[in-house]
Amino acid sequence: MSHNKAPGLKEQLLAEIPSLRAFALSLAGIADRADDLVQDTLVKAWANADSFTHGTNMRAWLFTIMRNTFFSQYRKARREVQDVDGEAASRLVAMPDQMSHLDFIDFRAELDLLPADQREALVLIGASGFSYEEAAEICGVAVGTIKSRVNRARRRLIERLALQTEDVAETVEAPQPEQSKS
């Protein structure tokens, strides 16, 4: 392996790890798989550092590597037998212990149910802070496609989360955000 990497590349890669981990978690859904995805991304980025154009967006380049790695692994895994022990099936529905408020777990569960392309677009724009143009470049699609995916994802989340809130309101006489039903 060559040690002639650009000065500061290691520091730039290390600085992006928190953002990479957040994006990896949104793609993989499981912390261990997300960590593996971050590691694979960093190894590929380091090995292909010569293909990075200095002065361009390092984060977008890394997210593109991560996205491509994830979908390559996903396509490969899809051909294999999945969920033999039923672990994934047991996580599909999680009922909240308390119905006092909609929390992050409910949001995360609904986010995970979005189609992968919509979830990815929403995370890139809403959580990772990319512009629509940068997200389109990362995903390899037109800007209008990203905008439409984000819009559909937001609408679907609002609809699903509103339904959950209505279910809660029907079970509590006078729903108040501060009250907790025991």
Model confidence over 147-158: pLDDT tens digits? 999 999 999 988
Phi, psi of 115 (to 5 degrees): -55, 145
**b/e sequence 38-76, b meaning 16+ C-beta within 10 Å:** bebbbeebeeebeebeeeebbbbbbbbbbbebbeebeee
Segment 156-174, tens digit of pLDDT? 988 887 765 555 444 444 4
Confidence (pLDDT) at 179:
46
What value does the mean pLDDT take over residues 103-131?
A: 85
Instruction: Answer with the residue of higher pLDDT: 87 or 121.
Output: 121
| pLDDT of res. 79 | 65
Provide the 8-state DSSP code for 53: -
3-state secondary structure (DSSP) of residue 130: coil
Report pLDDT digits (tens) over 31-62: 899 999 999 999 999 998 888 888 888 999 99
- Cut 0.85: pTM above it: no
In this prediction, residue 85 carries a pLDDT of 64
Residue 4 has pLDDT above 80, yes or no: no
State the pLDDT at residue 84.
Answer: 57
Instruction: Measure the N-to-C terminal CA separation of the chain; round to a whole number of Å.
Output: 61
Instruction: Quote the pLDDT of residue 163.
Output: 66
Distance of alpha carbon 24 from alpha carbon 36, whole angstroms: 9
Domains of the chain: 1-80 (1.10.1740.10), 95-173 (1.10.10.10)
